[in-house]
Amino acid sequence: MAAGGGGSCDPLAPAGVPCAFSPHSQAYFALASTDGHLRVWETANNRLHQEYVPSAHLSGTCTCLAWAPARLQAKESPQRKKRKSEAVGMSNQTDLLALGTAVGSILLYSTVKGELHSKLISGGHDNRVNCIQWHQDSGCLYSCSDDKHIVEWNVQTCKVKCKWKGDNSSVSSLCISPDGKMLLSAGRTIKLWVLETKEVYRHFTGHATPVSSLMFTTIRPPNESQPFDGITGLYFLSGAVHDRLLNVWQVRSENKEKSAVMSFTVTDEPVYIDLTLSENKEEPVKLAVVCRDGQVHLFEHILNGYCKKPLTSNCTIQIATPGKGKKSTPKPIPILAAGFCSDKMSLLLVYGSWFQPTIERVALNSREPHMCLVRDISNCWAPKVETAITKVRTPVMNSEAKVLVPGIPGHHAAIKPAPPQTEQVESKRKSGGNEVSIEERLGAMDIDTHKKGKEDLQTNSFPVLLTQGLESNDFEMLNKVLQTRNVNLIKKTVLRMPLHTIIPLLQELTKRLQGHPNSAVLMVQWLKCVLTVHASYLSTLPDLVPQLGTLYQLMESRVKTFQKLSHLHGKLILLITQVTASEKTKGATSPGQKAKLVYEEESSEEESDDEIADKDSEDNWDEDEEESESEKDEDVEEEDEDAEGKDEENGEDRDTASEKELNGDSDLDPENESEEE
């Protein structure tokens, strides 16, 4: 499986560190790093499962490793009548890991117990072990070494079963045939041995440099009509040191054919190869080759006879760091190993440094010829011992996250202009005043501009400054005006504001209300003034609902806890202020633009009380808004309590009931109606 390579002195030693995924579910990834440590990682959560340092890790570094075939543990016991569920499930436990060392010994390490299981020395190799292969089912282990020999070990007794000379030079790679009866070995040339007799069955040309990996790619011959003897017709793959070509060979019945059937070309020397076996003729072999340059090449090919041209990869995977800012350029992150998951549709990638590799499962998309994954592994460098024990992961919570609190737009659905049906209803309701009001507004605006000069003489209000601020959206100018605490000043300014600026002002106030609570307190004063003074104007606007929807929601959410109290309070305030306002406007010198209005109001003066009450019910929508700030007003609180007291005297039931009715009206404002239909 893994290409070995510890000793860097040998130029013909394969590159890359010995590493391997555990068989079957690939739950673990074992990596023997050059510092002599064996580390086993959990692939599912990228956690260091265990670390083992062989006692002679400096003299005899690990050169190759191989997982033992999975052992199945008996975990289920039959169901019994009394307690229905008995069995404990845990399947395919992998345990033993064989490590070959540079001095020729082989260690068997138990990953379950976390300790050395046994050491195979006596009668074995006296030089660097190059490759280890476990036999699938007989409990044997095959190893090959620089001492030119191949050794068959009996794992049960830890003794040498057989030892024979495999080549004239060092033997660098081994592979066992799918049926378990043949063995491939390779130095530079490749030999196929019959395991029973230890005789050479076939020779293959091999590579110019030592073969670093050998692998069978098929388990059935392509031509199924012929009787299958277990080996004839099978394909296998070989990769060699310093060789950018992977060759595919076919075991043939006739002895003469010795050259490769086809080859795959990659960008650099292969360091780790994994493939999915094709089980039938139609299913392509999928091959993942990790190269020394840190790229993964994926091939997908149906093996079928000769192919002269070397095949290039279907897909290349690279990993790079995100280049932060303009200065740093993205750097490639080397991929150490890649293994196919059991569903054959995704790939486990191991990348980063061998000290702290990251393991990720990547879904394969065969259509893309090139995949470049951007990964930030900068925070992976610090070894996280703490998390290794507690297994707690803390997701990132930073200030960039969006925060939605009640009242902020986005927390509640935005109030869209009502659908046509409801608009008709609305327009019916408001049609009377609608057209007139436009004229009125135009007129008022005209007057307004004319009169501005006169008003400027008064220094106790800033309508002009505020208007200019709103028009130019000048933050400082607005601040200057809006951050005042003088209630009188606010009142006067609002009173003199031209009507067309009311809506922009309200929107500005809404924006500020959403901000810091301190500034919101100031804004409440403003809002209150605007709403009390310009309630009548606002109620004439046809598109009021969408325009002030957010403000409404904001206040609605903020006054939720004291709903009834604030409703009552708001109602009373409105009554009182309107009464006083109307009285004031009667007597006081009103701004020129109001002259018209005064006339109108006078006409209805006799029945003022009733009318105001009527207005109330109409203006309920505004009321609600008003309640919010009144509730925040500390100075009015006393009044509040008084009001409440009165309320109780009057008999709460009736009052609240009527209130509810009114509220019901107000709640059934256009936006709600539209939702329900």
Partner 1 sequence: MVEEENIRVVRCGGSELNFRRAVFSADSKYIFCVSGDFVKVYSTVTEECVHILHGHRNLVTGIQLNPNNHLQLYSCSLDGTIKLWDYIDGILIKTFIVGCKLHALFTLAQAEDSVFVIVNKEKPDIFQLVSVKLPKSSSQEVEAKELSFVLDYINQSPKCIAFGNEGVYVAAVREFYLSVYFFKKKTTSRFTLSSSRNKKHAKNNFTCVACHPTEDCIASGHMDGKIRLWNFYDDKKYTYTCLHWHHDMVMDLAFSVTGTSLLSGGRESVLVEWRDATEKNKEFLPRLGATIEHISVSPAGDLFCTSHSDNKIIIIHRNLEASAVIQGLVKDRSIFTGLMIDPRTKALVLNGKPGHLQFYSLQSDKQLYNLDIIQQEYINDYGLIQIELTKAAFGCFGNWLATVEQRQEKETELELQMKLWMYNKKTQGFILNTKINMPHEDCITALCFCNAEKSEQPTLVTASKDGYFKVWILTDDSDIYKKAVGWTCDFVGSYHKYQATNCCFSEDGSLLAVSFEEIVTIWDSVTWELKCTFCQRAGKIRHLCFGRLTCSKYLLGATENGILCCWNLLSCALEWNAKLNVRVMEPDPNSENIAAISQSSVGSDLFVFKPSEPRPLYIQKGISREKVQWGVFVPRDVPESFTSEAYQWLNRSQFYFLTKSQSLLTFSTKSPEEKLTPTSKQLLAEESLPTTPFYFILGKHRQQQDEKLNETLENELVQLPLTENIPAISELLHTPAHVLPSAAFLCSMFVNSLLLSKETKSAKEIPEDVDMEEEKESEDSDEENDFTEKVQDTSNTGLGEDIIHQLSKSEEKELRKFRKIDYSWIAAL
| Residues 25-64 close enough to bind partner 1 by CB under 8 A | 25, 27, 42, 44-47, 49-50
How far apart, in whole angstroms, are the C-alpha atoms of residue 347 and residue 363?
6
Contact range with partner 1 by CB under 8 A, out of 269-277, 354-362, 453-461, 475-483? 354-362
Name the helix (H) or strand (E) containing 551.
helix 544-558
Contact range with partner 1 by CB under 8 A, out of 389-397, 541-549, 584-592, 648-656? 389-397
Provide the minimum distance between the beta carbon of 358 and partner 1 in the complex, in angstroms, as a whole number. Answer: 7
Give the angle subtended at the CA of 38 by the CAs of 295 and 36, to the nearest 5°.
Answer: 95
157, 366, 449, 479: which one binds partner 1 (CB under 8 A): 157
Q: Which amino acid is at 407?
A: G
| Residue placing its CB nearer to partner 1 in the complex, 157 or 479 | 157
| Residue placing its CB nearer to partner 1 in the complex, 308 or 367 | 367
Binding mask 457-486 for partner 1 (x = CB under 8 A): ------------------------------
391, 485, 516, 654: which one binds partner 1 (CB under 8 A): 391
7, 123, 369, 410: which one binds partner 1 (CB under 8 A): 410
Is residue 324 near partner 1 by the rule CB under 8 A?
A: no
Provide the minimum distance between the beta carbon of 376 and partner 1 in the complex, in angstroms, as a whole number. Answer: 4
| Residue placing its CB nearer to partner 1 in the complex, 117 or 191 | 117
Residue identified by tokens 């930073």 is: 398
Residue identified by tokens 């006799």 is: 606
* Whether the Cβ atoms of residue 342 and residue 24 lie closer than 8 Å to each other: yes
- What is the strand order of the sheet 346-351 is part of? 335-340, 346-351, 358-363
Is residue 197 near partner 1 by the rule CB under 8 A?
A: no
| Residue placing its CB nearer to partner 1 in the complex, 455 or 667 | 667
Is residue 379 near partner 1 by the rule CB under 8 A?
A: yes
* Residue 588 DSSP one-character state: S
390, 459, 518, 603: which one binds partner 1 (CB under 8 A): 390
Buried/exposed 95-111: b ≥16 CB within 10 Å, e otherwise: bbbbbbbbbbbbbbbeb
Buried/exposed 381-414: b ≥16 CB within 10 Å, e otherwise: eeeeeeeeeeeeeeeeeeeeeeeeeebebeebee
* Whether the Cβ atoms of residue 245 and residue 209 lie closer than 8 Å to each other: no
CA torsion angle 301 305 306 311 (round to 10): 0
With CA atoms as reference, report the closest residue to 267 among 246, 247, 236, 238: 246
Report the sign of the C-alpha dihedral through residues 215, 217, 223, 229, in that order.
positive
**What are the tokens at 222?**
């392509």
Binding mask 627-656 for partner 1 (x = CB under 8 A): ------------------------------
Is residue 397 near partner 1 by the rule CB under 8 A?
A: yes
74, 327, 382, 634: which one binds partner 1 (CB under 8 A): 74
| Residue placing its CB nearer to partner 1 in the complex, 46 or 507 | 46
How far apart, in whole angstroms, are the C-alpha atoms of residue 318 and residue 371?
6
Name the helix (H) or strand (E) containing 526.
helix 517-540
286, 297, 412, 492: which one binds partner 1 (CB under 8 A): 412
Contact range with partner 1 by CB under 8 A, out of 295-303, 355-363, 445-453, 511-519? 355-363
Contact range with partner 1 by CB under 8 A, out of 68-76, 226-234, 502-510, 630-638? 68-76
Provide the minimum distance between the beta carbon of 79 and partner 1 in the complex, in angstroms, as a whole number. Answer: 5
197, 401, 599, 606: which one binds partner 1 (CB under 8 A): 401
How far apart, in whole angstroms, are the C-alpha atoms of residue 414 and residue 116?
66
The residues that bridge with 240 in the sheet, in sequence order, are 211
Contact range with partner 1 by CB under 8 A, out of 65-73, 184-192, 237-245, 281-289? 65-73
Other residues' Cβ atoms within 10 Å of the Cβ of residue 70 = 16
Q: How far apart, in Å, are the Cα atoms of 609 and each of 309, 578, 579? A: 99, 10, 8
9, 83, 306, 518: which one binds partner 1 (CB under 8 A): 83
**What are the tokens at 601?**
């109001």
Provide the minimum distance between the beta carbon of 456 and partner 1 in the complex, in angstroms, as a whole number. Answer: 37
Q: Which amino acid is at 404?
A: L
| Residue placing its CB nearer to partner 1 in the complex, 583 or 675 | 675
| Residue placing its CB nearer to partner 1 in the complex, 379 or 518 | 379
Q: Which of residues 326-345 bind partner 1 (CB under 8 A)?
A: 341-343
* Whether the Cβ atoms of residue 601 and residue 620 lie closer than 8 Å to each other: no
How far apart, in whole angstroms, are the C-alpha atoms of residue 567 and residue 274?
72
Is residue 365 near partner 1 by the rule CB under 8 A?
A: no
* Whether the Cβ atoms of residue 214 and residue 237 lie closer than 8 Å to each other: yes
With CA atoms as reference, report the closest residue to 94 among 62, 66, 64, 61: 66
Is residue 668 near partner 1 by the rule CB under 8 A?
A: no
9, 11, 82, 516: which one binds partner 1 (CB under 8 A): 82
Q: Which of residues 97-126 bind partner 1 (CB under 8 A)?
A: 108, 111-119, 121-122
| Residue placing its CB nearer to partner 1 in the complex, 127 or 321 | 321
| Residue placing its CB nearer to partner 1 in the complex, 387 or 608 | 387
How far apart, in whole angstroms, are the C-alpha atoms of residue 492 and residue 495?
5
Provide the minimum distance between the beta carbon of 296 and partner 1 in the complex, in angstroms, as a whole number. Answer: 17
Provide the minimum distance between the beta carbon of 99 and partner 1 in the complex, in angstroms, as a whole number. Answer: 14
Provide the minimum distance between the beta carbon of 360 and partner 1 in the complex, in angstroms, as a whole number. Answer: 6
35, 59, 75, 438: which one binds partner 1 (CB under 8 A): 75
Is residue 296 near partner 1 by the rule CB under 8 A?
A: no
79, 280, 366, 617: which one binds partner 1 (CB under 8 A): 79
**What are the tokens at 499?**
């009507």
**What are the tokens at 33?**
């790093």
* Residue 606 DSSP one-character state: T
Report the sign of the C-alpha dihedral through residues 149, 155, 157, 162, in that order.
negative
| Residue placing its CB nearer to partner 1 in the complex, 86 or 446 | 86
Provide the minimum distance between the beta carbon of 42 and partner 1 in the complex, in angstroms, as a whole number. Answer: 8
Is residue 244 near partner 1 by the rule CB under 8 A?
A: no
> What is the C-alpha R_g of the chain?
42
Q: Which of residues 560-589 bind partner 1 (CB under 8 A)?
A: 560
The residues that bridge with 29 in the sheet, in sequence order, are 21, 41
Contact range with partner 1 by CB under 8 A, out of 86-94, 480-488, 580-588, 589-597? 86-94
